Amino acid sequence: MIKRTLFFGNPAYLSTKNEQLVVNFPEEEKQEKTIPIEDLGFVVLENQQITLTSGLLMKLVQNKTAVITCDKQHLPCSLLQPLVGHTEQTVRYRHQLDASIPLKKQLWQQTVASKISNQAAHLKFLGKYSLKLERWSKEVKSGDTQNHEAIAAAHYFQNLFDIKGFSRNQKGIPPNNLLNYGYAILRAVAARALVASGMLPSIGIFHHNKYNPFSLADDVMEPYRPYVDLMVNQIVNTGANLEELNTNIKSELLTIPAMDVSIDGKKSPLMNAMSRTTNSLYECFYGSSRKILYPEFG
């Protein structure tokens, strides 16, 4: 089942009744709206004049709904997730924490190879075939000791957009702002899936900054980034004004969890594919598998 994503950009009062999310807009003379909580996967709160009841927060968390709040720049800045996301959470934590360094290096090798392969496929889809990316995707070694990820990313973004002076930089020229927003949504999807699979999003296989509570989410989202890039490229090609993230652009980017991706030979919504990825990662930690399932761009 595809879970819904709700975005609130205006002042609102959110509460709950009869297992429904109840929405009231104080600035509008409209009847209240209700949405079944069980249908919700993500709730994005952008306006700082939104009020929620603690009862609603409790039910959203119990439903494993990711609640995302935004900062003054309208970018996602926090994610509310349940303390207990899986019935075997303690055991799964232990397998994750006990993962050996050689295993983590092998998993990172698979992750980087998959990311570069998807970047190559995206450029090919755009008519910008890159033999270098295809070659690099096959040359990644355990732990990516030659840093193919960074080398490939530089080449990829040099060719991705037909925009003079563009380079990938969080504070750079548009459409960097669109990429930032899309990647933040993707990160939330990854974190939600990891918690539901009974793992700690803060303990990564490669990323390990002590100030980063979502290191593992940053790891597993890497091969999914080209899907965000695809959507941003499509928005760029519409000729829309990219200087600010307007409601239309945000609405488009908020459909990222529902994007169709191909994983293990089958089409699947991105958020469902991410759950397959995180479950396969746990199987690697557990020892029943040696391969992470990642999507194949195409």
Per-residue pLDDT of the chain (298 residues; tens, 9 = 90+): 688 999 999 999 999 999 999 999 887 666 789 999 999 999 999 999 999 999 999 999 999 899 999 988 888 888 888 888 888 999 999 999 999 999 999 999 999 999 999 999 999 999 999 999 999 999 999 999 999 999 999 999 999 999 999 999 999 999 999 999 999 999 999 999 999 999 999 999 999 888 888 999 999 999 999 999 999 999 999 999 999 899 999 999 999 999 999 999 999 999 999 999 999 999 999 999 999 999 999 8
Name, in order, each residue with C-beta under 8 angstroms of 228's C-beta and a sequence gap of 6 or more.
179, 182, 183, 185, 186, 253, 256
Report pLDDT for 202. 93
Which residues sit opposite 261 in a β-bridge? 268
Q: Is 222 annotated as a binding residue?
A: yes
Model pLDDT, residue 29? 67
Task: Provide CATH code, domain 89-286.
Answer: 1.20.120.920
In the chain, ranges of CATH 1.20.120.920 domains: 89-286
Q: Please report the pLDDT score of residue 30 as a whole number.
A: 67
Please state the pTM of the whole predicted model: 0.91
Domain with CATH 3.100.10.20 in the chain: 4-80
Pick the CATH number of 4-80 from 3.40.190.170, 3.30.420.40, 3.40.640.10, 3.100.10.20: 3.100.10.20
User: Cα torsion at 104, 110, 113, 114 (round to 10°)?
Assistant: -130
User: For 170, left (φ over 0), alpha (ψ -120 to 50), or beta?
Assistant: alpha
List C-alpha distances in Å: 81 to 61, 190, 194, 289.
6, 12, 10, 27
